Amino acid sequence: MSESLYDRIGGEAAVNAAVDVFYRKVLADDRINMFFEGVDMEKQAAKQKGFLTFAFGGPHNYTGKDMREGHAHLVAKGLNDSHFDAVMENLGATLTELGVPADLIAEAAAIAESTRNDVLGK
């Protein structure tokens, strides 16, 4: 069996390296940072870690139902494809910045992309 994406990308150390960079990009991005106004940064950082672990093909416990329920309040505030695209862009830029090879970035992006309909409640 070939090594998993999570192992090839660098596992937990990669998540730890990526989380600050990714979260900083998201908070600085005026297209999406209004969704993060007033949220508890500690809790949010842990969620970002969970998301990155998931996108890196790591162990997780998410179901489509969790994704729907977790984002429903944001969909009600207008969360749509353009915002999802912005997050995808930040994810790609984060991994590029950390020197992750393009083929692995594509794999991670595909995993993240697979949540689009659940996140947007479609």
Partner 1 sequence: MAKITYAEQSYECRNDESVLQCLTRHGVELSSSCHAGVCQTCMIKATTGTPPADAQKGLKPQLQQQGYFLACVCTPTEDLTVVNPDEDVMPQIAATVIDKTAFNDAMLRLRIKPETSIDYHPGQFVNIHRDDGLVRSYSIASQANDDYIELHIERLPEGRMSGWLHDEIAIGDKINIDGPHGECFYIDNKPDQNLLMVGTGSGLAPLWGIIQEALAKNHQGEIHLFHGSHSAQKLYLINELQQLADNHANFFYTPCISGPENKGFKAGRANELALSQFQILGGWRIFLCGHPDMVNDTKKKTFLAGASFNEIHADPFITQ
Q: How many residues bind partner 1 (CB under 8 A)?
A: 22
**Position 59 contacts partner 1 (CB under 8 A):** yes
**Position 84 contacts partner 1 (CB under 8 A):** no
Distance CA 44, CA 49 (A): 9
- Contact segment (CB under 8 A) with partner 1 among 13-21, 73-81, 91-99, 105-113 equals 13-21
Distance CA 6, CA 12 (A): 8
Q: Alpha-carbon Rg of the chain, whole angstroms? A: 14
DSSP label at 2? P
Question: What interhelical angle do 41-55 and 11-28 show, nearest 10?
Answer: 120
- Chosen residue from 4, 7, 34, 41 binding partner 1 by CB under 8 A: 41
Q: Which residues bind partner 1 (CB under 8 A)?
A: 12, 15-16, 19-20, 23-24, 27-28, 41, 45-47, 49-50, 53-54, 58-62
